[in-house]
Amino acid sequence: MKMFNKFSLLFLFFFLVCHTGNFLNGSIKPSDSLFLATQSGTTGAVRGLVKDAVSGKVIANAKIVLVNSKNSTMKYELKTDKKGAYYKGGLRPGYYEFTVEKENFLPIAKMVRARLGETVQEDFELQSLESQVPVAMKKAKSAIKFFQEAKWEDAVKEFSKAIAENQSSHMLFYFRGIAQEKLGSLEEALSDYQKTIELKSDFAPPYSMAGKIFARQQNYEKASEFYQKSVELDDQDVTTLYNYAVVLINLGENSNEAIVILEKLLLLDEAHADAYYRLGMLYISQGDTERAKELLQKFLELDPENKNATIAKQVIDALK
């Protein structure tokens, strides 16, 4: 079965900071000007606030980029206002890769789902470069700049220089691993991820990143090992959970565990169409046809144009 991979590599790099940060959950009202935006009944909207993770101060003029996970041509760029607020309406329902950048801060990102007829609140906290890599600040800053410009070879070189001066920073190894992976140097990337884990064993992102590489290499047993550790560290990213379930399915001996993972995923995101499809097929193998029909019908309701829609319809008809 084909591995689900809706994250771009750049997003996965940014995810590590977002995943370890604390997001604001309170309702935040954007500036009055934001309310001028309108949305129709066929679209959704996202709004939020960007703040300094240490000081709590709002960050004005932060760059925000949104890219639809299934259609990269649906890309939008905007900036926070003087109150650190942003708003984007008119979004087609679905998942968007949000990246947030500001000079002298580490960029972060998160997959956000735009919902039909709703305005989703999504806030971000940025970590300053000084707080993450104090010893190798200058060179790390240069490396991150190259990374943002997709100059992967230069990024690897600069991260390597920073690592030479600060070999205890797990984030430097992690960043270099991402750049290595982008260059296609998978073994080097794995080495950096493993070094990251050695330096900070309770840091979840390198486990999921390594798991993804092993899955690409069809080494599902090793992929499962790393994904499992990521989940044990409370990784609740829906893409990590989905990919872990797919790995378990490919192993062919862990359908019960895969069901547990997918059920957990749906508690976090009740509109993850592909999870309904996978789970429905798993319940067929368990002999629970009623649950399978329910799940597959929900899948078709959420994503009737999905490539697996025809199969789902045929299975439902057969179960009748």
106 part of a folded domain:
yes
Confidence band for 93, pLDDT divided at 50, 70 and 90: confident
Span 27-70, pLDDT tens digits: 333 333 333 334 345 789 999 999 998 889 999 999 999 998 88
285 part of a folded domain:
no
Q: How many domains does the chain have?
A: 1
How far is the C-alpha of 175 from the C-alpha of 188, rounded, in Å?
A: 12
314 part of a folded domain:
no
How far is the C-alpha of 173 from the C-alpha of 156, rounded, in Å?
A: 10
90 part of a folded domain:
yes
209 part of a folded domain:
no
Task: Answer whether residue 124 shows pLDDT above 60.
Answer: yes
Span 281-304, pLDDT tens digits: 999 988 999 999 999 999 999 888
Cα–Cα nearest to 233, from 220, 218, 221, 244: 244
What is the CA angle 114-258-293, rounded to 5?
Answer: 70
69 part of a folded domain:
yes
3-state DSSP assignment of residue 310: helix
54 part of a folded domain:
yes
Task: Answer whether residue 208 shows pLDDT above 60.
Answer: yes
Amino acid identity at 143: A
Q: What is the mean pLDDT of residues 137-164?
A: 84
Confidence band for 131, pLDDT divided at 50, 70 and 90: low
Which CATH number characterizes residue 30's domain?
A: 2.60.40.10
pTM higher than the cut 0.75: no
Q: What is the mean pLDDT of residues 221-238?
A: 92
119 part of a folded domain:
yes
Domain extent, residue 99, equals 22-126
The secondary element (H helix, E strand) that includes residue 113 is strand 108-114
> Which tokens is 259 given?
């069901």
Task: Answer whether residue 138 shows pLDDT above 50.
Answer: yes
Cα–Cα nearest to 182, from 141, 138, 212: 212
Cα–Cα nearest to 81, from 47, 110, 114: 47
User: Percentages helix, strand, coil for the chain, rounded to the nearest 5?
Assistant: 50, 15, 30
